[in-house]
């Protein structure tokens, strides 16, 4: 007798199981629920991810459906309990697995303008193909100093100033709030050496480094001093000679 009662209880519990179709999905998914062995009448569906629902039991058969909350509601991906409350006050619980948002089919890409330059160069970044609901982004690279990054509706706009690091080819990685990434490359050039044109015969100019110009100016200065000294010596001897030739008076 006890065995028969136990089997009846097990069959009743099995009959009252609720099947969700699908049992998992992302935001705004449409989910249906079916089951048997429940009290007839209207019913409620409670759950953190339940938005709109319809629930009714006829001839002990449950027919229900609900819409999963949209992303802006704040629910994060995970396993959520879905509670069905029936007309007689009883309830039954099942679970729905909320998945992360579906990734858009396009591959995110970014473009740098310019793609090379020296320290202090202002670089613009444009990108497309990102998830439309992404709201934040980062620019990751040693050369990307003082960056700014904005993204809306899958379109990215960013900029940075080339930092004072060793010259070379650097990867510029853009990362969004949905962990999407896109990569481009920036070639940091050596800072140019300052040059000063020095006129030569024929009107042509030869670029000279500032160090060379300083050396040549020093040479010119020394030569000028030597010439001045020579002139002073010549004047001195000239005056001295005139004094020696002057006639003596009695």
pLDDT tens digits for 27-49?
999 999 999 999 999 999 999 99
| Percentage of the residues of the chain whose pLDDT score is greater than 90 | 52
Query: Whole-number mean pLDDT of the chain?
Result: 83
Lowest pLDDT segment from 75-84, 195-204, 232-241 = 195-204
Q: Round to the nearest angstrom and report the end-to-end CA distance of the chain.
A: 172
Q: Could you say which architecture CATH assigns to the domain 109-188?
A: Sandwich (2.60)
* pLDDT value of position 166: 95
For residues 79 and 234, give the distance between their C-alpha atoms in angstroms, rounded to a whole number.
106
Average pLDDT on 114-139 reads 92
Match domain 2-98 to its CATH number in 3.20.20.10, 2.60.40.10, 3.30.450.20, 3.30.930.10: 2.60.40.10
Higher-confidence residue of 52 and 105: namely 52
* pLDDT value of position 7: 41
36 in Cβ contact with 13 (< 8 Å): no
Q: Where in the chain is the domain with CATH 2.60.40.10?
A: 2-98, 109-188
121 in Cβ contact with 128 (< 8 Å): no
pLDDT surpassing 80 at residue 249: no
Lowest pLDDT segment from 43-52, 146-155, 220-229 = 220-229
3-state helix, strand, coil in the chain (%, to 5): 20, 45, 35
Contact partners, residue 71, CB within 8 Å, separation at least 6 = 27, 101, 133
pLDDT surpassing 80 at residue 122: yes
Phi and psi angles of residue 15, each rounded to the nearest 5 degrees, phi first: -70, -25
What six digits make up the tokens of 182? 């896109």
**Global confidence as pTM:** 0.42
Band (80; pLDDT cuts 50, 70, 90): very high
């Amino acid at each position: 007798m006890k065995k028969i009662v136990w089997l009846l209880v097990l069959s009743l519990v099995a009959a009252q199981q609720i099947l969700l179709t699908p049992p998992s999905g992302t935001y705004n998914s449409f989910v249906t629920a079916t089951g048997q062995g429940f009290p007839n009448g209207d019913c409620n569906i409670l759950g953190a991810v339940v938005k709109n629902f319809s629930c009714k039991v006829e001839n002990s058969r449950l027919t229900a459906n609900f819409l999963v909350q949209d992303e802006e509601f704040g629910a994060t991906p995970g396993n959520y309990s879905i509670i069905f409350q029936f007309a007689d006050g009883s309830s039954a619980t099942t679970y729905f697995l909320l998945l992360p948002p579906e990734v858009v089919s396009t591959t995110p890409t970014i473009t740098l303008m310019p793609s090379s330059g020296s320290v202090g160069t202002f670089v613009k970044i444009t990108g497309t193909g990102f998830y439309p609901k992404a709201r934040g982004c980062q620019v990751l690279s040693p050369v990307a100093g003082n960056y700014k990054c904005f993204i809306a509706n899958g379109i990215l706009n960013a900029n940075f100033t080339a930092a004072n690091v060793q010259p070379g080819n650097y990867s510029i990685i853009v990362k969004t709030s949905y962990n999407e990434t896109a990569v481009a490359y920036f070639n940091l050039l050596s800072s140019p050496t300052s040059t000063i044109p020095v006129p030569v015969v024929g009107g042509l100019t030869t670029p000279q480094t500032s160090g060379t110009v300083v050396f040549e100016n020093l040479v010119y200065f020394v030569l000028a001093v030597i010439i001045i000294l020579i002139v002073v010596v010549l004047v001195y001897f000239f005056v001295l000679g005139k004094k020696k030739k002057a006639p003596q008076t009695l």
